Amino acid sequence: MPPNDAGASSARRHQHWEAIYEQKTPTEVSWYQREPSASLKWIEQRGMPPDAAVLDVGGGTSMLVDALLARGYTDTTMLDISAAALDTSRRRLGLLARVKWVPADLLTWQPVATYDLWHDRAVFHLIVTPGDRHRYLQALRAAVLPGAMAILGTFAADGPERCSGLPVARYGPHELAAILGGLEAPQWQAA
Ligand SMILES: C[S@@+](CC[C@H](N)C(=O)[O-])C[C@H]1O[C@@H](n2cnc3c(N)ncnc32)[C@H](O)[C@@H]1O
């Protein structure tokens, strides 16, 4: 994609998500969950240590970071394209919460740190073109350490066709594995 098109797409994404988080409270969005139990189950099952570097991509106003802090995790980062979403999360947690906040478009982001856990709930399915999928995987590869874990929660093959008014790509575990299979030493488990 020519650089100007990439910039325009990023600006459109930014505008869409800022408007959502400026108009809706955290409990009004369709993806709200009080307790991110599936993600926590995966993190706990895999024995992720409390000093692990955890990145929640497209974290929005998710309470995952609250749950991780409550469990003693000390190195958490929330990345989202919407500064409004990150502000809401930051205000909820309070200024003393040890969380790194990264307002960025994942598809143009260049990580300056590496992580033990890449967590994505309901972001990857918003990426519907091969070029953007490639950009997502580039960011994932650049951001994770060898042996890191990635959790991708997407709509299933028979799931909804849209999310936040946007078209989605839906996946079964094998399709996800095939797309992500270029990553080093993948180990796949379907939830
Ligand atoms: C359906 S919401 C899910 C939010 C959160 N993961 C949760 O489970 O509550 C999708 C999130 O991804 C963010 N997002 C969408 N596209 C993004 C991008 N290209 N880069 C970073 N964040 C993005 C949105 O701002 C929004 O917070």
Assigned domain for 49 exists: yes
Assigned domain for 43 exists: yes
Query: CB neighbours (10 Å) of residue 131?
Result: 13
Assigned domain for 50 exists: yes
pLDDT of residue 185: 43
Assigned domain for 102 exists: yes
Output the domain CATH number for residue 21. 3.40.50.150
Containing structural domain, residue 42: 3-25+34-180
pLDDT of residue 173: 87
Using CA of residue 187, residue 174, residue 171, residue 177, what is the dihedral sign? Answer: positive
pLDDT of residue 37: 96
155 lines ligand 1 (CB under 6 A): no
162 lines ligand 1 (CB under 6 A): no
Mean pLDDT of 45-55: 96
Assigned domain for 165 exists: yes
Distance CA 59, CA 151 (A): 13
136 lines ligand 1 (CB under 6 A): no
Question: Does this model's pTM top 0.85?
Answer: yes
- pLDDT(82) > 60: yes
Three-state helix/strand/coil letters over 3-34: HHHHHHHHHHHHHHHHHHHHHCCHHHCCCCCC
Distance CA 177, CA 184 (A): 12
Q: For residue 51, with 0-12 CB atoms within 10 Å meaning exposed, 13-18 middle and 19 or more buried, which class applies?
A: exposed
pLDDT of residue 156: 95
Please tell me the residue having the least CA distance from ligand 1 atom 9.
62
Using CA of residue 23, residue 88, residue 124, residue 34, what is the dihedral sign? Answer: negative
Nearest-atom number in ligand 1 for the CA of 30 is 1
- Percent of the chain residues topping a pLDDT of 90: 82
Please tell me the residue having the least CA distance from ligand 1 atom 8.
121
pLDDT of residue 184: 46
Segment 96-153, tens digit of pLDDT: 789 999 999 999 999 999 999 999 999 999 999 999 999 999 999 999 988 899 999 9
- How remote is the CA of residue 17 from the centroid of ligand 1, in Å? 8
pLDDT of residue 186: 46
Q: Total structural domains in the chain?
A: 1
- pLDDT(4) > 70: no
Assigned domain for 186 exists: no
Q: Which two tokens stand for residue 153?
A: 């929660």
Nearest-atom number in ligand 1 for the CA of 107 is 19
Please tell me the residue having the least CA distance from ligand 1 atom 27.
60
Assigned domain for 131 exists: yes
